[in-house]
């Protein structure tokens, strides 16, 4: 976290108590969180934290590559910290566990095929997989394979 704080400072951003509180919450999280959840948890560290500050800080952290926006069903979204320079996430629909995985080479091949067949120039991409983690699969009745 010290390295992230220093990089934020080096990028010209101030290290305010609200931003530090948000970073603390993100560093403690093991799954994705909505901005409202981040706000509620970060207020433990900074009681004056406002929801607008959470959204602005998440946008800054996303731009800097420290968090990724997770697109969820029903138009909702959450945020998860990143570890990889170029990674994607697989998200458990049941328990919200989120795992980051590398994917530049494999996805690049697919993107090139799609670009060739459609004529589009792909400028960026997002890949997000949704499913059930191994633990949650234990609770799915045999023979049911949702989402495929």
pLDDT tens-digit map of 111-135 = 888 899 999 998 877 777 888 989 9
Contacts of 133 (CB under 8 A, 6+ apart): 92, 94, 95, 97, 99
**Whether residue 110 has pLDDT greater than 60:** yes
Contacts of 89 (CB under 8 A, 6+ apart): 32, 68, 70, 80, 98, 99, 100, 101, 128, 129
Domains of the chain with CATH codes: 1-82 (1.10.10.10), 84-140+144-148 (3.30.1490.190)
pLDDT at site 38: 96
pLDDT at site 55: 95
Alpha-helical (H) ranges within the chain are: 2-10, 17-28, 35-42, 51-64, 104-118, 134-137
Confidence band of 16 (pLDDT split at 50, 70, 90) = very high
pTM, to two decimals: 0.68
- Work out the angle at residue 118's Cα, subtended by the Cα atoms of residues 113 and 124, and round it to the nearest 5 degrees: 70
What is the rounded CA–CA span in Å between residue 38 and residue 15? Answer: 18
Q: What is the pLDDT of residues 54-92, one digit of tens each?
A: 999 999 998 888 888 887 666 678 888 876 556 677 888
């Amino acid at each position: 976290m010290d390295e992230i704080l220093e990089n934020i400072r080096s990028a010209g951003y101030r290290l305010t108590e609200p931003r530090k509180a948000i970073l603390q919450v993100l560093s403690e999280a093991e799954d994705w969180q909505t901005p409202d959840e981040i706000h509620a948890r970060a207020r433990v560290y900074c009681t004056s934290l406002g929801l607008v500050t959470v959204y602005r800080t998440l946008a800054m952290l996303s731009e800097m590559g420290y968090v990724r926006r997770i697109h969820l069903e029903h138009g909702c979204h959450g945020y998860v910290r990143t570890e990889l320079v170029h990674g994607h996430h697989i998200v458990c629909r049941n328990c919200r566990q989120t795992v980051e995985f590398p994917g530049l080479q494999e996805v690049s091949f697919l993107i090139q095929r799609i670009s060739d067949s459609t004529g589009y120039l792909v400028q960026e991409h997002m890949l997000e997989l949704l499913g059930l983690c191994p633990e949650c699969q234990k609770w799915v009745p045999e023979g049911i394979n949702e989402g495929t």
